[in-house]
Amino acid sequence: MNRDNPVFWIIFVRTIQASLCAIALHVLTGWSFTGPYALGLFLTPVLCLYFVFVFVAPWSWGLPILNRLATVEKIVALSFDDGPSETTFAILDCLNEQKNRATFFVLGEAVERYPELIRRMNAEGHTVGIHAWRHAAFVGLGSRRIAEEVNRTQEAIRRACPEAPPARWLRPPHGFKSLRALWFAKAQGLRVAAWSCDSRDYRDTDPESIAQRVTHTVRSGAIILLHDGPCSSATVEALPLILRSLQKQDFTCVPLERVF
């Protein structure tokens, strides 16, 4: 955990509060601090940390989840979730104009609607990764359902662009971690990617604030989270601002396929 991240302190404080509540419950009820009654004292912070592990996307906790590039060079990776959609056309135009490459984590059902965009991504040197079929969070899903979400999307990509290599990257929806998803990814030879720089464009309609959120926090090796779903018009306007700022800071944008 990065202690400069305010989320770290939220988690730290909430875990302490939950533990103190468990202690207070033991005192008020007269439960023993040893034996089976003490189990709650152990489970409370453990459960807090487990939910943090699942739902705080950028942290890998030592698991095989890539959340930043292992480099000190001025390299960053742009990534786009939830497409392709109508906004993807403009995003690809902007990236191509400035000769930047990115990684697109696509939804299988969207691939079926816009197969020409998958062909264009491949032709222009972008990486196509798997997000899911319908953006269902993998947390709580069984192994069979996760396999269906991933394999249907992989097959949709193959049908849209047979000449493209099979997708090697997986980003679970919302970045929520599921041990079943990690096991499945390893068995299928997929690498799981999160991010280290969140534009929060999914809840912001101001292009300038989206761009500033990226350019003020970006570091060497950052994986930047953006979106190209159907409601991403603000991202389309923010992207030129982001690319110009990255260029001024001498950053080079690479797709994840170029990293390994």
The residue extents of the domains of the chain are: 6-55, 65-258
Q: Give the predicted TM-score (pTM) of the model.
A: 0.81
Q: Which of 5-14, 47-56, 201-210 has the lowest mean pLDDT?
A: 5-14
* Average pLDDT rounded to a whole number, residues 8-18: 65
Name the catalytic one among 126, 201, 227, 228.
227
**pLDDT score at 106:** 98
Residue 178: pLDDT band with limits 50, 70, 90: confident
Q: Is the pLDDT of residue 6 over 60?
A: no
Residue 227 annotated in active site: yes
Mean pLDDT of the chain: 87
**pLDDT score at 75:** 95
Residue 141: pLDDT band with limits 50, 70, 90: confident
Q: Is the pLDDT of residue 234 over 50?
A: yes
Q: Is the pLDDT higher at 254 or at 20?
A: 254
Residue 81 annotated in active site: yes
**pLDDT score at 33:** 66
**pLDDT score at 17:** 72
Name the catalytic one among 81, 82, 198, 201.
81
**pLDDT score at 35:** 67
Q: Is the pLDDT of residue 57 over 60?
A: no
Q: Is the pLDDT higher at 16 or at 135?
A: 135
Pick from 220, 223, 229, 212: nearest CA to 256: 223
Q: Which of 123-137, 173-187, 211-225 has the lowest mean pLDDT?
A: 173-187
Q: Is the pLDDT of residue 199 over 80?
A: yes
**pLDDT score at 4:** 42
Please state which CATH class domain 65-258 belongs to. Answer: alpha beta
Q: Is the pLDDT of residue 2 over 50?
A: no
How many percent of the chain have pLDDT more than 70?
A: 81
* Average pLDDT rounded to a whole number, residues 176-191: 89
* Average pLDDT rounded to a whole number, residues 203-214: 95
* Average pLDDT rounded to a whole number, residues 149-167: 97
* Average pLDDT rounded to a whole number, residues 255-260: 74
